[in-house]
Amino acid sequence: MLVKMSLSIKTLVGIGLTSLRHNFKLQRFCSCRQLSSSSFRKFSSSKESGGTGSKKGEEVGEEDVNKIFEESKHEIKGQPRVFSGIQPTGEIHLGNYFGAIRQWVRFQDEKKAGKYEQCIYSVVDLHAITIPQDRDVLEKNIFQAVATLLACGIDPNESILFLQSHVPLHPQLSWVLGCLSTMPQLGRLPNFRDKSKKLKEVPLGLYTYPVLQAADILLYNATHVPVGEDNVQQIQFAQLLAQRFNRIHGRTFNIPKIMLEGGMWCRLRSLRKPENKMSKSEPDAKSRIGLTDSPDEIVEKIKKSVTDFTSAVTYDPETRPGVSNLIMIHSLCSGQSAEEICNSVQDLDTGKYKFVVAEAVVEHLRPIRTKMIELMKEPAYLLDILKIGTEKAITLSEPVWNDVCFKVGISPSHSWLSKSRPDSNDSHVEQQSGIKSASL
């Protein structure tokens, strides 16, 4: 007698999350070198077989991702959605604020005007542990990241704000996409190449990081992904995986469009080494201005910033990167153009000009810092915000995941046993009937 099985999404998520959490813990302590022995040494080439619209053995490892987007952009399912994430590693600094967070607020405003259906923002804590972290520091950084986003203008009523690890479908989709990825492709990506050079033993999580990043984006069928220049190749890899899955299993994912930000805010440099960008990973804390820095700390850091031996204040990023960096910071904080600033401080040398810049930064960050300090005193409120965002994220992602499961063949609740399948993902805004969101 045939017994019909009916597994709830809660049961599936519980089972999957338990095993995947275990796998993620193992990945932190497994090195790529340990997993590169025996049969892994002879990994497959970038040739694949089969799939909808593909020929057996066709080359797919070097697809032109820009062509992929051009061919697929007219096929966008549903309304445009923006997805972006921020890692809770180190203090959020001025470069993060102008280069990412303030742009997120702009997208949120455009969403209110009807340009986007959703703005989805995640604190990507699973990405943070690709490199070992102190658990107390990481926990504090997570709360601080949420408080920072709220203080800078992210409205949880307008945008979806959540913690990546609270939505178990992220690592689950990452596994499915990982089975479509090849080792040569992952090994060529800059994030792995650059960071692995500094490590004696390379964690597996660092190697598979781009697959999880692709899952973050595709799980919500995002259509637009804002990134800096150093992340373009990772998003191109997500485009490639979306196209590959679509070709093999049928139209499922949108091909996300790269929104490459090219304004002045993307070029903020280190205060100590202006040839490098301002970065969380720079060991010298004086190289960056943190959003939680006190006024005295800001003045001291700008006072100690590296410039050159020319006393005049002129804007020339190529030959005078240090002074030009200060002018860019001043411009972003004051709203003045670089030309207007240079004309207004003709009587000042660079030493005195640094105090003008410091004052502009202090005043610009004062309300943000005050709000952040208030929010950090209310961790229960921050958790409530994350809980609401998680519920919205799960509701949005479940239809996509159910469609993936059915097409791959891992959907016991929608199988030939019940002669049913999830609704078509042609409109990913519509929710699946009869499936409830997993409990937090």
> Domain map of the chain by residue range?
16-30+63-265+380-414, 270-376
* The 3-state secondary structure of 46-87, one letter per residue: CEECCCCCCCCCEECCCCCHHHHHHHHHHHCCCCCEEEEEEC
What the block records as the tokens of 1 is 């007698």
Identical fold, 16-30+63-265+380-414 and 270-376: no
Q: How far is CA 241 from CA 211, 245, 252, in A?
A: 9, 6, 11
pLDDT digits (tens, 9 = 90+) for 76-121: 666 899 999 999 998 899 999 999 999 999 999 999 999 999 999 9
Catalytic residue chosen out of the listed positions 77, 111, 257, 277: 277
Catalytic residue chosen out of the listed positions 280, 286, 303, 387: 280
**Percent of the chain, pLDDT > 70?**
72
Q: What is the pLDDT along the chain (440 residues), one digit of tens a residue?
A: 433 333 343 343 344 444 444 454 444 444 554 444 433 333 333 333 333 333 333 333 334 444 544 544 445 666 899 999 999 998 899 999 999 999 999 999 999 999 999 999 999 999 999 888 999 999 999 999 999 999 999 999 999 999 999 999 999 999 999 999 988 888 788 776 666 667 777 778 778 889 999 999 999 999 999 988 878 889 999 999 999 999 999 999 999 999 987 666 567 999 999 999 999 888 899 999 999 999 999 999 999 999 999 999 999 999 999 999 999 999 999 999 999 999 999 999 999 999 999 999 999 999 999 999 999 999 999 999 999 999 999 999 999 999 999 999 987 555 555 555 555 444 443 333 333 333 33
Name the CATH superfamily for 16-30+63-265+380-414. Answer: HUPs (3.40.50.620)
DSSP state of 5: P
pLDDT digits (tens, 9 = 90+) for 240-283: 999 999 999 999 999 999 998 766 656 799 999 999 999 988 88
User: What are the backbone angles phi and psi of residue 372, rounded to the nearest 5°?
Assistant: -60, -45
Q: Look-up: residue for tokens 């704000």?
A: 161
If residue 275 lies in a helix (H) or strand (E), which one and from where to where? none
Topology of domain 270-376, per CATH?
Tyrosyl-Transfer RNA Synthetase (1.10.240)
What residues are paired with 258 via a beta bridge? 225
Any idea of the CA torsion for 107, 109, 110, 113, to the nearest 10 degrees?
A: 160
Cα 264 to Cα 336: distance, rounded to the nearest angstrom: 12
Give the start-end residues of each E strand in 126-245: 160-163, 224-227
> Is-catalytic flag, 277?
yes
Angle at 430 between CA 426 and CA 435, to 5 degrees: 115
Show contacts of 189-196: CB within 8 Å, 24+ apart: 189/233, 189/234, 189/237, 190/230, 190/233, 191/234, 195/131, 196/32
Cα 390 to Cα 115: distance, rounded to the nearest angstrom: 23
Amino acid identity, position 275: E
pLDDT digits (tens, 9 = 90+) for 184-197: 888 788 776 666 66
Catalytic residue chosen out of the listed positions 115, 195, 303, 371: 195
CB 202 within 8 Å of CB 31? yes
Is residue 295 helix, strand or coil?
helix
> Is-catalytic flag, 197?
no
Question: What pLDDT, on the 0 to 100 scale, is given for residue 223?
Answer: 97
pLDDT digits (tens, 9 = 90+) for 334-347: 999 999 999 999 99
> Is-catalytic flag, 195?
yes
Short-list 61, 197, 88, 190, CA closest to 148: 88
